[in-house]
């Protein structure tokens, strides 16, 4: 989706994002990935693609970092909880299938179309990598996420019994129809247009952050 007129940006996740991503991960999931797992994915898994969503008015780079050439910015510690970073998502390309492996949004930013924006961005990204279908696993009790996926055409095609080891909960396997077909592409376009309209009307978040934690 073209975000140029909206106060959000979606960019590939980089190592500097990992501390904040991990903070959100801990809040969002009862079986969180470690920060090392995210770093490993970014460095060592060429079939993966991770995206982060930022709220532009909160983007702030301390002068100490801004003054350094980009390649040296890692020398100044990145924030462990960057308030501009609202959520993230990722997928693995496995042959012609994109497997969404994570998707999460800060708790206080949920329910305003931003989880949907991340999902749409993952699907659009997968399309640029010639994905023919998008698939994922979701807890049987995670109705909010299931509704979001159903909105984007995902259907339940199977179940993994006791997949989640914290409470032995089953996972539903959900898959899209063929995403390169014209039918799905027009569905995506219609959803994208509607979402852009929603995001341009939705009032911005009111409570500005005090400062980033370091």
Ligand X SMILES: CC(C)(COP(=O)(O)OP(=O)(O)OC[C@H]1O[C@@H](n2cnc3c(N)ncnc32)[C@H](O)[C@@H]1OP(=O)(O)O)[C@@H](O)C(=O)NCCC(=O)NCCS
Choosing from 132, 137, 164, 169, which is the catalytic residue?
137
Q: Does 189 contact ligand X by CB under 6 A?
A: no
The answer to whether 147 contacts ligand X (rule: CB under 6 A) is yes
Q: Are 55 and 84 in contact (CB under 8 A)?
A: yes
137 catalytic residue (yes or no): yes
What would the x/- binding string for ligand X be over residues 5 to 34, using CB under 6 A? Answer: -----------------------x------
Considering the complex, what minimum distance in angstroms separates the CB of residue 65 from ligand X?
28
Q: Tell me the C-alpha to C-alpha distance, in Å, between residue 136 and each of 63, 144, 160, 211.
A: 40, 15, 11, 35
Q: How far is the C-alpha of 33 from the C-alpha of 52, rounded, in Å?
A: 16
Buried b (16+ CB within 10 A) or exposed e, 12-21: ebeebbbbbb
Are the C-beta atoms of residues 176 and 133 closer than 8 Å to each other? yes
**Interacting span for ligand X (CB under 6 A) from 51-59, 66-74, 101-109, 180-188:** 101-109
Question: Is residue 138 close enough to count as binding ligand X by CB under 6 A?
Answer: yes
Q: Is residue 90 a contact residue for ligand X (CB under 6 A)?
A: no
For the chain, give the number of residues.
Answer: 214
Contact 41, 91 (CB under 8 A): no
Q: What is the DSSP string of 175-194?
A: E-S-TTSHHHHHHHHHHHHH
Binding of ligand X at residue 148 (CB under 6 A)? yes
The distance of closest approach from Cβ of residue 67 to ligand X in the complex, given in angstroms and rounded to an integer, is: 35
> Smallest distance from the beta carbon of 60 to ligand X, in angstroms?
23
Q: Which of 112, 127, 173, 177 binds ligand X (CB under 6 A)?
A: 112
State the catalytic residues.
137, 149
Residues of this chain that interact with ligand X (CB under 6 A) are: 28, 103-105, 110-116, 138, 142-145, 147-148, 151
């Amino acid at each position: 989706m073209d975000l140029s007129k909206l106060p959000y940006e979606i960019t590939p996740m980089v190592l500097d994002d990992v501390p904040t991503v991990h903070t959100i991960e801990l809040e969002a999931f009862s079986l969180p990935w470690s920060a090392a797992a995210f770093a490993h994915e970014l460095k060592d898994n060429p079939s993966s693609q991770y995206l982060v969503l930022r709220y532009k008015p909160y983007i702030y780079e301390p002068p100490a970092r801004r003054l350094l050439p980009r390649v040296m910015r890692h020398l100044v510690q990145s924030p462990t909880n960057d308030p501009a970073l609202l959520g993230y998502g990722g997928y693995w390309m496995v042959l012609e299938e994109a497997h969404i492996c994570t998707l999460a949004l800060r708790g206080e930013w949920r329910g305003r179309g931003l989880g949907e924006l991340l999902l749409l961005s993952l699907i659009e990204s997968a399309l640029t990598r010639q994905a023919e279908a998008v698939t994922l696993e979701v807890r049987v009790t995670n109705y909010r996420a299931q509704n979001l996926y159903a909105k984007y055409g995902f259907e339940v095609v199977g179940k993994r019994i006791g997949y989640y080891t914290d409470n032995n909960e089953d996972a539903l396997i959900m898959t899209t129809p063929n995403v390169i077909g014209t039918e799905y592409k027009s569905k995506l376009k219609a959803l994208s247009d509607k979402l852009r309209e929603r995001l341009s009307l939705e009032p911005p978040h009111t409570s500005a952050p005090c400062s980033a934690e370091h």
